[in-house]
């Protein structure tokens, strides 16, 4: 089963004039999934504004409805969820289809754990390849039964929640907000305290939203870069309004575009600047990019700012340390694009998690750079990109059902000598449905049958 079985849509981007304008990218994908999930777990009505209406999030909304919540669209980005409470989910009539979304599927495995119901999780060919054992391991420790799963614990898989969930202390084997969130969401349904330890801090939107909805959660530092999160189970979550700020992972594309197309100057408005999400902006500044936060403010419990970016001449190559990976995990493909135009060799260290995203992003980026004529190599879990200040273009990039690969290479083609072709841009709709009109509105030349 696939929610996205349509024909591939090829595209090409070409050398573009200076990019200009003030733009607003859609709502943050991580916060949007969580807004619908927490709205479902609260008793009463949660009002959401700025929700990302991308396919990943819409699939989460449909899954919440299938579990008993009333999920309604009131207007553009404006949604209302009438929740059923922690432990109040009903068994869905059929399998839940999460399409392309790791976040939706993994968080909702945790969410259903505290309910004595049987639920089947499925997704598209990309999601069916991704590892789910990392979620099943802690959930099994809590008493969840894996009734059925594809080889290696992959989708499609069926879970059955126990009558009484056991709270656990779990040390996550990888820095992953999805593992952390699945354990904490399951912990809501367990009596007593559920503790999650991560050696490297990952994005903290779940912890923030738990507090926002009235759960008791405490966060302490753990080791040099880690955190220990303790949650008191079985709270009554109270509905709370949510305003979703603009997604820094989407803002990354126009920002890098402005840094590689000479003469550009743009502002991206209302971007979330949560420090656990801004590794890319820090790295670009280290490379010499002129990036300024203007009108910094707090909106809906998150820091946001308007981000002004000016073409800054040739960027400098840098070494990106492995401990920065969690705060810029989805941004490495587009950082590789910036690195292609920098002076010297950029080394991005510790990228093993990139191999288990919508595609093997380490390989997909390396092959895409090859197609664009950019010298690069993979050494262990590191990616090295030799910046030449220019790139030939001309080839075709394979996107492997991966929205970020598609958007990153469309950005690269805005500054290559020959146009750069991308085999399929349809998956951009999972996270950034307005990408093409937004980029074209700033002056980007992108040809696609969309």
Ligand X SMILES: C=C(OP(=O)(O)O)C(=O)O
Ligand Y SMILES: O=C(O)C1=C[C@@H](OP(=O)(O)O)[C@@H](O)[C@H](O)C1
Q: How is residue 418 written in tokens?
A: 């020959």
**DSSP string of 46-102, one letter each residue:** EEEES---SHHHHHHHHHHHHTT-EEEEEETTEEEEEEE-TT-----SS-EE-TT-H
Report how far apart, in Å, the C-alpha atoms of 231 and of each of 74, 188, 217, 381 are.
33, 8, 4, 34
Q: Is 128 marked as binding a ligand?
A: no
Stretch that binds ligand X, among 98-106, 236-244, 320-328, 417-425 (CB under 6 A): 98-106
* 181 contact choice in ligand X, ligand Y, none (CB below 5 to 8 Å, kind-dependent): ligand Y
Choose which of 200, 204, 302, 330 interacts with ligand X (CB under 6 A): 330
Nearer to ligand Y, 115 or 176 (CB): 176
Which residue out of 330, 382, 423, 424 is catalytically annotated?
A: 330
Nearer to ligand X, 56 or 97 (CB): 56
330 noted as active-site residue: yes
CA distance 308 to 325: 24
CB 227 within 8 A of CB 195: no
Site for ligand X in 414-433 (CB under 6 A): 431
Q: How is residue 432 written in tokens?
A: 């950034």
Q: Is 330 marked as binding a ligand?
A: yes
Is residue 404 within the footprint of ligand X (CB under 6 A)?
A: yes
Is residue 28 within the footprint of ligand X (CB under 6 A)?
A: no
Q: Is 232 marked as binding a ligand?
A: no
CB 36 within 8 A of CB 67: no
* 115 contact choice in ligand X, ligand Y, none (CB below 5 to 8 Å, kind-dependent): none
DSSP state of 167: P
Q: Is 106 marked as binding a ligand?
A: no
Report how far apart, in Å, the C-alpha atoms of 412 and of each of 259, 416, 430 are.
11, 7, 20
In the complex, minimum distance from the CB of residue 326 to ligand Y, in angstroms, rounded to a whole number = 7
DSSP state of 215: -
Is residue 243 within the footprint of ligand X (CB under 6 A)?
A: no
* 55 contact choice in ligand Y, ligand X, none (CB below 5 to 8 Å, kind-dependent): none
Contact footprint for ligand Y (CB under 6 A): 30, 102-103, 176-178, 181, 203, 329-330, 353
Choose which of 12, 69, 101, 165 interacts with ligand X (CB under 6 A): 101
Q: How is residue 301 written in tokens?
A: 């419990």
* 177 contact choice in ligand Y, ligand X, none (CB below 5 to 8 Å, kind-dependent): ligand Y
* 46 contact choice in ligand X, ligand Y, none (CB below 5 to 8 Å, kind-dependent): none
* 30 contact choice in ligand X, ligand Y, none (CB below 5 to 8 Å, kind-dependent): ligand Y
Is residue 103 within the footprint of ligand X (CB under 6 A)?
A: yes
CB 278 within 8 A of CB 330: no
Q: Is 29 marked as binding a ligand?
A: yes
Sequence-distant (≥ 6) Cβ neighbours of residue 122 within 8 angstroms: 1, 95, 96, 97, 98, 128, 155, 156
**DSSP string of 246-288, one letter each residue:** BPHHHHHHHHHHHHHSTT-EEEEEEEE--TTS-HHHHHHHHTT
Q: How is residue 336 written in tokens?
A: 């590789």
Q: Is 34 marked as binding a ligand?
A: yes
Choose which of 55, 302, 358, 424 interacts with ligand X (CB under 6 A): 358
Q: Which residues are catalytic?
A: 330
Q: Which residues are part of a known binding site for 3-phosphoshikimate?
A: 29-30, 34, 176, 178, 330, 357
Which residues of this chain interact with ligand X, rule CB under 6 A?
A: 29, 56, 101-103, 330, 357-358, 404, 431
Residues marked as binding for phosphoenolpyruvate? Answer: 29, 102, 130, 178, 361, 404
């Amino acid at each position: 089963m696939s929610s996205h079985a349509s024909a591939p849509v090829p595209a090409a981007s070409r050398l573009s004039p200076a990019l200009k304008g003030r733009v607003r990218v859609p709502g943050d994908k991580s916060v949007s999934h969580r807004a619908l999930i927490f709205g479902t777990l609260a008793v009463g009505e949660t009002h959401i504004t700025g929700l990302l209406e991308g396919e990943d999030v819409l699939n989460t909304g449909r899954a919440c409805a299938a579990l008993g919540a009333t999920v309604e669209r009131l207007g553009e980005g404006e949604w209302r969820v009438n929740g059923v409470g922690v432990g109040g989910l009903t068994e869905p009539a059929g399998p839940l289809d999460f399409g392309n979304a790791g976040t939706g599927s993994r968080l909702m495995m945790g969410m259903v754990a505290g309910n004595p119901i049987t639920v089947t999780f499925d997704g598209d060919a990309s999601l069916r390849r991704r590892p789910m054992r990392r979620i099943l391991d802690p959930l099994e420790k809590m008493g969840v039964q894996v009734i059925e799963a594809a080889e290696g614990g992959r989708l499609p898989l069926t879970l059955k929640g126990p009558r009484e969930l056991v709270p656990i202390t779990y040390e996550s084997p990888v820095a992953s907000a999805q593992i952390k969130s699945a354990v904490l969401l399951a912990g809501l349904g367990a009596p007593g305290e559920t503790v999650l330890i991560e050696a490297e801090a990952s994005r903290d939107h779940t912890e923030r939203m738990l507090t926002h909805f009235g759960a008791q959660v405490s966060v302490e530092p753990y080791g040099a870069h880690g955190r220990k999160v303790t949650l008191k189970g079985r709270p009554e979550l109270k509905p709370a309004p949510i305003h979703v700020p603009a997604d820094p992972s989407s803002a990354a594309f126009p920002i890098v575009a402005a840094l590689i197309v000479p003469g550009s100057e743009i502002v991206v408005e209302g971007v979330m600047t949560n420090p656990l999400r801004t590794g890319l902006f820090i790295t670009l500044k280290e490379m010499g990019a002129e990036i300024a936060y203007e009108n910094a403010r707090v909106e809906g419990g998150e820091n946001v700012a308007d981000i002004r970016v000016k073409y800054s001449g040739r960027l400098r190559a840098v070494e990106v340390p492995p401990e920065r990976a969690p705060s810029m995990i989805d941004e490495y493909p587009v950082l590789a694009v910036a690195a292609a135009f920098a002076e010297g060799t950029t080394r991005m260290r510790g990228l093993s998690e990139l191999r288990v995203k919508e595609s093997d992003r380490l390989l997909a980026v390396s092959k895409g750079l090859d197609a664009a004529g950019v010298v690069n190599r993979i050494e262990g879990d590191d990616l090295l990109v030799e910046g030449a200040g220019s790139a030939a273009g001309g080839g075709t990039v394979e996107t492997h059902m991966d929205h970020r690969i598609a958007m990153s290479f469309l950005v690269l083609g805005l500054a290559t000598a020959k146009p750069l072709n991308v085999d399929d841009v349809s998956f951009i709709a999972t996270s950034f449905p307005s990408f093409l009109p937004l980029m074209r509105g700033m002056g980007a030349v992108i040809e696609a049958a969309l």
